[in-house]
Structure 1
Amino acid sequence: MGEGFVGKNMFESDHIDFEMPVRFLYEYSRRHTELSIPELLRIAETYEDLLGECCNTENPPDCYRDAENRFNETTEKSLKIVQQECEHFQNLGKDDLKYYYLIKLTKIAPQLSTEELTFLGKEMVIALTTCCTLSEEFACVDNLMDLVLGELCGINEYQNINPAVDHCCKTNFAFRRSCFEGLKADKAYVPPPTSQGLFTFHTDLCQAHNEELQRKKDRFLVNLVKWKPELTEDKLRSLLTDFTKVVATCCKAEGPAACFSEEVRLVLSPRDSTGIAGHTEGSRTPRRTLLPPSPICRAGEMTTFLEHICNNQGIADKHVFSDCCNTNNTARHKCFLLHKRDDAGYSDIFQIPNSEQICEMHKENQVSVKERELVLLTKKQPKANFSEIAKLATDIKNLHQTCCEGNAAACVFGRSQLMNYICSQQAILSSKFTPCCELPEPFRGECVITSENDDKPDLSSLPLSRFTEDQFVCKQFTDKQDDFLQE
């Protein structure tokens, strides 16, 4: 642990009251660009907890000596979760991994519609299949899985799913994923009394292509868990296997519909004495379906932006996007979202922020938005000085507030001003912004967001004593705890 910045002269006293926690997050993030955004926020929260504990002891320096171990323990705990998830991927394979998450998600949130649950399960699998073969699997998995949980919490914002899910969605953003990891089946959930309408199939199932057939199997499994949530994972998988055999058998029969009715009844009969015929899968009253998060206009802007990138061969080749440009619009967007440069210095999965998630987060906790933006900016621009990063984080937080309030004109003007400022300061922010700032104004923003991280500076190890042992730390923490931690 470094011993720099120790003593009375490390900071002027008029700066310490607002800089210390944010400065710590900045310094830690630029030295650990390999960590995920949620993990860096967990470290910052651990630091704040440490201040709360140590400043209330008779000998704070003795208490602070455990700081580095506390930070390492936080990271090791998160790493263990990611390793377990990637082990599931390696051991189960893509389809079985999806079934694992469909069962898990349906048990903890059975109130969601079948469409919402199958969507979330598929997104979980995409995150793991994308990340678990990468050398940077920890940050990649942690970032993308948290985005999926953000989708789940976006649904919860509009319809309170159940108390346990609501609690995890409202917990500290940094620890949201570990909260969800600890959730069990919702014991208060009351399943439908019969299976009527859940398991009726017709001859069109036999004409379904592989992808549509797979969707039917996914829906069957989710509905099965909704109907009998007490069944074990092994039993649910066994019934899914039986259903797959029924499809193969009945599609060869002379009357597939009658065969489906009888064979599916036999598969489920030990658990359903009421019968299952009489309703089609689509006859139930639909719940609100999970819709794509971006409005139509943003989707159009994204299509135009990606088209511009692909038409500019220099940009496409420079950023290794040629393979994405050879696909159609929908597949192209997903390819860009999941793209990874193959150079050793790149440590983040390519992401385009979800504006709706940011607005929901902003509504819940403006501090979390500012901290998250500070981490994003520091990871992307690790050579930039603290004052520039802090200014941009504040400006972006204020811009989010303007945009989330629905002031479209001010939102567009604010984005333009922000991009103009970034391009005017690119020499001190990031060497990677130059190609973006040469683009027409409507395309600068997306290009800056999706540009690769700047090269990591050659920094010494973080002198933790700078943020713990100075006499002003505990004084400010005690006198102005709320302002100190939230600024």
Structure 2
Amino acid sequence: MKHVKFIGFIFFLFSLTESLALPTKPQDVDPFYATQKFIEENTVYLTIIAVAQYVQEVSFDEVETLVKVMMDYRDGCLANWTLPECSKRANEAIQDMICSSEGLPQRHNISHCCSKVDFARRLCFFYNKKAKTGFLPPFPTLDPEEKCQAYKNNNGSFLNLYMYEVARRNPFVFSPVLLTVAARFEEAATTCCEQQEKATCFQDKAAPITQYLKASSSYQGTVCGALIKFGPKVLNSINTAVFSKKFPKIGFKDLTSLLEDVSTMYELCCEGDVVQCIQGQSQVMNHICSKQDFISSKIKECCEKKMPERGDCIINTNKEDKPEDLSPREPKFTDSQNVCQERDSNQDGLLIEFTHEYSRRHNYLSTPELLRVTKVYKDLLEDCCSRENAAGCYRHAEDKFNETTEKSLAMVQQECKLFQELEKDALKLQ
């Protein structure tokens, strides 16, 4: 991967928020500086990603001009760190450059965003992103021989152009994913350009890269959509189910601490802050790797990898085996006499803990199904806690949960049967 390296620049240009402050514990230093180094080595890519995702119609020439502006900005700040503009976060600096680029806001209809400030401007840039990219020209394709010649002539420019084309067609994909895509594409180009059958090689290498990008785009788009539409509470519920079923031996206290980092990461990544997104993901992975004994026995090899492979490895690793001593049900939520009191004092906390305990005990269920069960429990308590014999009412909650999952299973089986019958009919017509 072609990099523009500059030591020290990140520490003033990409200033960190309080939650990502400089580490004070010795064991935190190495992961922190490894993340900093990774950002420094990929700053050109990160600038390209941010600009192409915010202004998808922007031309590659315009992007290259803004990259040069960023480099000039860097040089000025290296000469004098005390300049006020050198304390900006990356997102702010990039949006400033876009807005101050002569004619660019008018050409690409983002003047309304540039007239805003702070959070309002950041939100405007986010809402300017378009998931449907039919307005863009088809993804440029080259003959394998031409592709390899362009790569050999100037691999830096070739890879930057690829990053630009991918980023603007995937405006909601997080920067760590796009950097992984770029690294895998570079590896494919390096390998395939040495092969006799270049076209076949590129086809074989491209398939898993495309699949990875589509899957990441779909999931991250859904999660960010939930965050924007419903707020952090719903996102927290989703992440509770996801982490609890993947790491069923994690305790609720450790999960709560982890979720704080995860929530911060998603807020930064969904907003499109390319640098803080990497910092946020790194913090989450450091958190998980520092507590392997309490979280998972299956991530040791992942935690030994470098960025961004480490994050992908942890995300895609197999679920941890459910602890043998974990009972099928947690009586606290159905047998206790004090459930309604807990609900009245802290309903959100009670429901999150319920989601955690139910998900880790039923980690074979899908995330949407686990959230449906939580909704059933919430509605049940709303009904039961208004009755005289509340405890006698919610004591049968497990029957409601089983009924919910059985209905979902029956629906899935029906859909699968229908699909199989349609497939048979289609074969008969051939």
TM-score (norm 1): 0.38
Is the helix fraction higher in 1 or 2?
Answer: 2
TM-score (norm 2): 0.43
Structure of higher RCO (CA pairs closer than 8 Å, 6+ residues apart):
1
